[in-house]
Structure 1
Amino acid sequence: MKKRKVTRIVRGRKTVDGAGVHLRRILGEQTVVDFDPFLMLDGFDSTNPQDYIKGFPWHPHRGIETITYLVSGTMEHEDSLGNKGVIQSMGCQWMTAGSGILHKEMPQPSERMLGCQLWVNLPAAKKMVPPAYRDIAPDDIPVVMSDKATVRILSGSHRGIRGTLDNSYVQITYLDVTLPADASWKYNEARDDENLFLYLLEGSLFPEVRQQSAESKGCAILYSVPVPGEDTDEPVEVKAGPEGARFLLLSAPPLKEPIVWGGPIVMNSREELEEAFRELRNGTFIK
């Protein structure tokens, strides 16, 4: 194992998407090379329902997976396969768009809406797999106490405990980690060929315990493996600030494939993208 170093910190920007949802776009088209296979990450944190209740009406996706995780709040969702449901606080909805799906996501008024949506690229050979829709209930997510941390395992594994979902297309580790004030936490389970980053939901975090400056919520911290010759066994190590910290740890092997992005559709070539939009116009998008 090689020691990982912080090589990029992305703070994103405030924007409005859907029918008028105020959010912070952390990852997007400017970060796809460094964060491959993670395409987009939108974070939301509001106590004002007017920021989000207009939601995301019916819209298409192809070529990606979307993962919506709520720490706090409620979101109704429905898709063109006939699936519908409600994401509750501490729950997750994992959608494989594959060959094409239409869906809508409508946040409901809540005391606080806190969570994020992550887009993950699908490999070229799996772009047109049949769509799938999976809800992960809060009680289905394993919880592990680890070095003073509370770790919820949505996907992948931690300390020998498997997460709720084993994804067959991109092997993603998805952990929700909560640290008390001034606590440190170490992680050394990522393979050297994986891209790994932290997304800070709440509080503040020192990306390395020896680093003097703390990062505050709403940023993504990328850890990269150094060049050969600097190999060590030291893990990723972080320390919470005086108010504690809650963050997501995400890692997966990069696809290293061409990306052609057109709004909610991500393919490998311009021809594939144009075909997708032509099918949308012709009513043949859903397979």
Structure 2
Amino acid sequence: MNTKRTLQAVYPAQPSRDGDGVRIQRIAPAGQFGLFDPFLMLDEIASDHAADYIGGFPEHPHRGFETVTLMLKGRMRHRDHLGNEGIIGPGDVQWMSAASGILHSEMPEQDEGQLHGFQLWINLPAREKMAPPQYREIQADDIPLWQPCPGVVARVIAGQIGGIQGPVQGVATQPLVVDLTLEGQAKVDIPVSSTATVVAYVFRGEATLPASPASSGTAVVSAQHLARTHPGETFSVSNSGSHTTQLLVLAAEPLNEPIAHYGPFVMNTRDQIEQALNDFRNGTFTETTTR
């Protein structure tokens, strides 16, 4: 029987700073890194004030996971040690697998106006953590739309819904990444894997989800909150009012592997974290090796 997912818990984004003083809203519960396995962390940047973002994210390392950067408004320039460079504008996506190690920077390509975007961290399985890094840049026009009914528009970035396949495929955790907009009294059912971790981050308006299994009612999730769901085969959501609601719907298969985390490194053991630190200090960090 097809079962609808119900709300398990809601997590508020926390104000934070990263990079060179950039103001962000972050979902990464303290002391529970990996709670949303395989999703590790979600950051939102949203400001009309250049002082909140102008410092950007100067060159820094990553190892052991993937980053997904989605821009809604404004422009960011990416550079990395592999020679990749590009500007991510409104609606564009950058999907980067840091894997064995990458050095990159993300700097605003503007000194005024609104900047609004997200960065999602997705863990890599142990067998892929020391693979060669990869970089994909996806233009907004290359992201297909799923429009199952009036008032519902879903940009399918990764995975597949209703025969619409996103440009990102072949990722170990089989992610579904959807930028969903609901207008008016719209509601939608999204088929998902029954074994996947499914979360939704509301960044505009209010979304209504089925409440916990003990209740037959519904629950409202407001902006800058992430909802986690109980297992099921359908993620159901509706708009709570007459205003537009926007949210990121994220689903992926959990890895169920140990996590060792230190700053920009996500591995499986403390020894591997120490190795990453040593590699970074001695200048061999960007050499692709298998350990």
TM-score over 0.5 for the pair: yes
CA distance in 2, matches of 1:9, 1:134: 31
- RMSD of aligned residue pairs (Cα, Å): 1.7
Of the three residues 184, 187, 190, the one matched with 1:184 is 187
> 1:145 is matched with which residue?
147
Partner AA of 1:144 in structure 2: W
Q: Is 1:219–2:221 an aligned residue pair?
A: no
Partner AA of 2:206 in structure 1: S
Deviation at residue 33 of structure 1 after TM alignment: 4.3
> 2:272 is matched with which residue?
272
Secondary structure of the 2:171 match is coil
CA distance in 2, matches of 1:285, 1:218: 35
Secondary structure of the 2:116 match is strand
Deviation at residue 107 of structure 1 after TM alignment: 2.0
> 2:73 is matched with which residue?
72
TM-score by length of 2: 0.91
Which moved further from structure 2: 196-205 or 74-83? 196-205
Q: Is 1:194–2:196 an aligned residue pair?
A: yes
CA distance in 1, matches of 2:244, 2:171: 34
Contact 1:6/1:222 (CA < 8 Å) preserved in 2? yes
Which moved further from structure 2: 86-95 or 235-244? 235-244
Secondary structure of the 2:130 match is coil
CA distance in 2, matches of 1:250, 1:44: 18
Which moved further from structure 2: 198-207 or 156-165? 198-207
Partner AA of 2:220 in structure 1: A
Secondary structure of the 2:243 match is strand
Deviation at residue 27 of structure 1 after TM alignment: 2.7
Deviation at residue 31 of structure 1 after TM alignment: 4.4
> 1:230 is matched with which residue?
none
CA 1:29–1:120: 2 relative to 1, 3 Å: farther
Percentage of pairs with the same residue: 38
Contact 2:192/2:235 (CA < 8 Å) preserved in 1? no
Q: Is 1:258–2:264 an aligned residue pair?
A: no
Deviation at residue 147 of structure 1 after TM alignment: 2.4
> 2:129 is matched with which residue?
127
Contact 2:265/2:273 (CA < 8 Å) preserved in 1? yes
Consecutive unaligned residues in structure 1, runs of 5 or more: 227-232
The aligned runs of 1:162-177 (5 Å cut-off) are 162-177=165-180
Q: Deviations over 1:89-140 (max 9, x none)?
A: 0000110001000000012335322221000000001100100111000111
Deviation at residue 162 of structure 1 after TM alignment: 0.8
Which moved further from structure 2: 240-249 or 206-215? 206-215
Deviant stretches of 4+, over 6 Å: none
TM-score by length of 1: 0.93
> 2:97 is matched with which residue?
96
CA distance in 1, matches of 2:115, 2:29: 22
Partner AA of 1:161 in structure 2: I
CA distance in 2, matches of 1:260, 1:6: 28
Consecutive unaligned residues in structure 2, runs of 5 or more: none
CA distance in 2, matches of 1:28, 1:67: 19
CA distance in 1, matches of 2:236, 2:4: 10
Partner AA of 1:39 in structure 2: L
CA distance in 1, matches of 2:55, 2:256: 36
CA distance in 1, matches of 2:171, 2:34: 22
